[in-house]
Amino acid sequence: MSRIAYVNGSYVPLREASVHVEDRGYQFADGVYEVVALRGNRLVDAQGHFDRLWRSMNELSIDPPMTEQAMRLVIDQLVRRNRLPNALIYIQVTRGVAARDFKFPKANPAGSESALVITVRPAKLDHSQQLRDGVRVVTTPDLRWKRRDIKSVALLPQVLAKQKAAEAGAFEAWMVDDDGFITEGSSSNAWILTRDAKLITRQATNMILKGVTRTSLLRFAEEQGITIEERAFTPDEAYQAVEAFVSSATTFLL
């Protein structure tokens, strides 16, 4: 069965799904995105992802292409049409199609010109073997801009970081800032548990993406009475730690 994507108002077979060559997402990475896990036909942490998507759009003055309620209905339709109980939902909003000019295109009085693409990809969300065996991580300099709190589609530094990890046979790359502190993984947040049982993850400022899974894990840890420190840590501290792990919507916790 062909996978179905949603592109600017239409449900289309994935192989026919396409966007305009002058889409600003394509030309300028002028767009934002979210990845939401679907487990057993249920969206995980959906509200957190919608809230962050709206925040990302707002920070970049991108008009929402529709209401959150309408987007939930589109996703519901896509999930039905794709019949994949375990999947990753990819949502991308760009500033739309316009003649190539850095400045924002003039607002369309008829309504939003933002472009919306949503795809559903089958995913093996069972990571039990990796959980048992552990995964390898390399470090790499963090080459990104200073608004990492926005989930922008400008991902070239993360592409390079993940490629470096893959070439080293590792699962993830932890990016290191100019002061020698780990910021986060190329597509995950970074955590350690110290010998004195403190759970450490970097504070959510503009220097990292505030992971939705991170927020949930912090809540669980608090409920368990675990001591939490939201602060930056170094690769050396990670070596000294009793545990080190990553979190994201795709991996949950590894």
Residues 86, 81: Cα–Cα separation, whole Å: 13
Residues 39, 85: Cα–Cα separation, whole Å: 6
Residues 14-43 that bind ligand PMP (CB under 6 A): 35
Residues 151, 88: Cα–Cα separation, whole Å: 16
In the complex, least distance from residue 135 CB atom to ligand PMP, rounded to whole angstroms: 15
- Tell me whether residue 31 or residue 96 sits nearer to ligand PMP (CB atom): 31
Coil, helix or strand for 162? Answer: helix
CA 99 to chain centre: 29
189 counts as binding ligand PMP under rule CB under 6 A: yes
> CB atoms < 10 A from the CB of 197, how many?
9
DSSP structure class, residue 177: -
- Tell me whether residue 6 or residue 191 sits nearer to ligand PMP (CB atom): 191
Stretch that binds ligand PMP, among 58-66, 98-106, 185-193, 236-244 (CB under 6 A): 185-193
Question: Where does 40-128 show beta strands of DSSP type E?
Answer: 42-43, 87-94, 115-122
- Of 103, 151, 162, 210, catalytic: 151
> CB atoms < 10 A from the CB of 83, how many?
12
In the complex, least distance from residue 43 CB atom to ligand PMP, rounded to whole angstroms: 13
- Tell me whether residue 39 or residue 81 sits nearer to ligand PMP (CB atom): 39
In the complex, least distance from residue 216 CB atom to ligand PMP, rounded to whole angstroms: 8
If phi > 0 it is left, if psi is from -120 to 50 it is alpha, else beta; for residue 150 that is beta
Stretch that binds ligand PMP, among 85-93, 126-134, 187-195, 232-240 (CB under 6 A): 187-195
Residues 38, 187: Cα–Cα separation, whole Å: 18
For the chain, state the CA radius of gyration: 19
187 counts as binding ligand PMP under rule CB under 6 A: yes
In the complex, least distance from residue 139 CB atom to ligand PMP, rounded to whole angstroms: 15
Q: Convert residues 212-251 into a mask of x (bound to ligand PMP by CB under 6 A) and - (unbound).
A: xxx--------------------------------xxx--
**Residue 169 amino acid letter:** G
Active site residue 151: yes
In the complex, least distance from residue 205 CB atom to ligand PMP, rounded to whole angstroms: 13
139 counts as binding ligand PMP under rule CB under 6 A: no
Among the listed residues 23, 113, 142, 184, the single contact to ligand PMP using CB under 6 A: 184
- Tell me whether residue 97 or residue 233 sits nearer to ligand PMP (CB atom): 233
Residues 94, 101: Cα–Cα separation, whole Å: 15
- Contact residues: ligand PMP, CB under 6 A: 35, 184, 187-189, 209, 211-214, 247-249
> Where in the sequence numbering do the catalytic residues fall?
151
